[in-house]
Amino acid sequence: MMAALAHTAYPRAAQAEAASPAPERVMTTRPAANAAPAIEILSAEKVFADGTRGLAPVDLTVREGEFLSLIGPSGCGKSTLLSLVANLNEPSDGRLLWWRGGFDGVGAEGRRMSVVFQDATLMPWLRIASNVRLPLDLAGVRRAESAPRVQAALEGVGLGEKGRSYPRQLSGGMRMRAAIARGLVTEPNLLLMDEPFGALDEFTRNKLDADLVDLWWRRSLTVLFVTHSIYEAVFLSTRIVVMAARPGRIFAELTIDEPHPRGDAFRRSPCFAEYCQRLSALLTEASLASDPATTEAGA
Amino acid sequence: MKRPLIRDPWVQAALPPLLVGIVVLSLWEAACRGFAIPEYLFPAPSVIAASLVQNGPDLLRALWSTMRVTLIAFALSTVLGTLVAFLFVQSRFIERGFFPYAVMLQVTPVVAVAPLIIILVRDTQVALVICATIIAIFPMISNTTVGLRSVDPGLANLMRVYRASRMQTLLRLRIPSALGYFFAGLRISSGLALIGAVVAEFVAGTGGRSAGLAYEILQAGFQLDIPRMFAALSLITAAGILLFLAMSGLSRLALGSWGDPERV
């Protein structure tokens, strides 16, 4: 049983198809194509203070239960797009909806959002357990309630014994796990991740990827994931959005229609290699489309 | 199993400077005796030590007087400097408006301002404290300001994602981030407070019961009692070292849990 590679290349970025995946496909994986949208990016555009166009108007819908990866050459605006969704940045034009509402509704039951950054961004003066507890402390959760949740989150990432350590006493991989535990302790519905494993060695990265996809599956999370790695994107995602630069825009889309849970068997399968080749080809096209010489000649 | 004394880290840290000190003092003593250098030109360490013992009560009273000015000025610099730093980080306008004047305070030599302050302020002790504070406050202001601004942008974003209030961000992020700089400021400022106190005493030349070590040095100079001059000088140095060690210890105590404060 081999799923067809679904691929749509857009001549221009702002196309409404991005919001509605092919309706006739039989889903062997979650989410259903008609799942409710978690994030809707509606013609969001970002022009920086120096006049560069970080993002041309982008339309994208992240549906509940999706594991959506953003991939593309550097400068394609994937991190900018993520920061818009995290509300750390405001679009110059266009708008975003979180669960069909404004950002004010984020944080309510069923609409919780967490961010895991490129670095672990742990506070060096706090023990791991206190770092993980930070989101709960900020929300005013009492210690009696937060302590077991923190411990559970730490155990969930395999750091159950490390709560009393300081960040500098842990390896890079462990620090990243702690950051993920902090992201999960609020029991989010949507997890935003900006190249979280970029600084780690490949072995650790594969291990954390496997843990992450397992977590996503068990907890019915929605994940928006920025990465540089083709293999990581294919292994993790239900859908991959390829972006191009100058200006940052959506270039193509690839659906990875493979059943979950995925394991090493999927990594070694021929269809995994096929997906990787397909994605690699799309990325090459996206890079060519991002080349200043090519784009200026075209304009 | 007991470690040999020579391997003890404390001994390892203290031994080299101790050896250098003993060698220098021995050479100094030997040179003074060998070349028969008169006491009133350059006294031997043994003569200075004898003078220290002989003039002990007077010198200690003077030391206390200087230290009192130093400590009050240091405390004032810490409190006022930190308050000013908190004001500075509240708004760029306040910082831009006032920072040049803080620099002005710093670059004007206190020796040049001291006579004015001593004329303007009737109580000499108060005048001394003002002079010493003017010198000592700048590193507190600049270090604490830099520290409060030195927040890791990733952590700042994290606080925003979790919708931390201004107060939560201040208490949980800004103040802890600033501590390393704050303690470095304390170390510099404590030394400057002592310098300020001594310099101001020189200018004021206060005698009587509240005379400080600078007055002792001046008097000893007038009387050509050079050993006494050296004795007073050694006390100032000892006081400075003590302050520095106390501040280093304090910062290690406070920051010890998250690494080397010198690196912050």
User: How far is Cα B157 from Cα B149, in angstroms, rounded to an integer?
Assistant: 14
Model ipTM value: 0.76
What top-level class would CATH report for the domain B57-149+175-263?
Answer: mainly alpha
The minimal CB distance from B154 to the residues A119, A138, A139 is found for: A119
B96 touches chain A (CB under 8 A): no
CA–CA separation, A12 and A16 (whole Å) = 11
Say which residues have a Cβ less than 8 Å from residue B31's Cβ, sequence separation at least 6. B37
Give the residue on B whose Cα is nearest the Cα of A85.
Answer: B161
User: What are the structural domains, with CATH classification, of chain A?
Assistant: 1-18+34-112+190-299 (3.40.50.300), 119-187 (no CATH)
Q: What is the pLDDT of residue B180?
A: 84
pLDDT along chain A (299 residues), means of 10: 41 39 42 78 87 86 91 87 89 89 82 88 90 90 90 86 89 88 89 86 83 85 91 91 88 87 86 91 88 52
Helix (H) or strand (E) holding B160: helix B153-161
Cα Rg of chain B (Å, integer): 23
Parts of chain B with a pLDDT under 50: 259-264
The beta-carbon neighbor of B163 closest among A107, A117, A123 is A107
pLDDT of residue B261: 37
By a Cβ cutoff of 8 Å, what residues of chain A touch chain B?
86-88, 107, 113-115, 117-119, 121, 123-125, 134-135, 137-139, 166, 168
Q: What's the pLDDT score for residue A202?
A: 83
- What is the domain partition of chain B in residue ranges? 57-149+175-263
Instruction: Count other C-beta atoms under 10 Å from residue A124's C-beta.
Output: 16
**Does B168 contact A135 at a Cβ distance shorter than 8 Å?**
no
DSSP A211-254: HHHHHHHHHT-EEEEE-S-HHHHHHH-SEEEEEETTTTEEEEEE
CB spacing of B176 vs A139 below 8 angstroms? no
Question: Of A218, A101, B52, B251, whose CA–CA distance to B44 is shortest?
Answer: B52
pLDDT of residue A29: 52
Does B256 touch chain A if contact means CB atoms closer than 8 Å?
no
What is the C-alpha separation between B198 and B68, in angstroms, rounded? 11
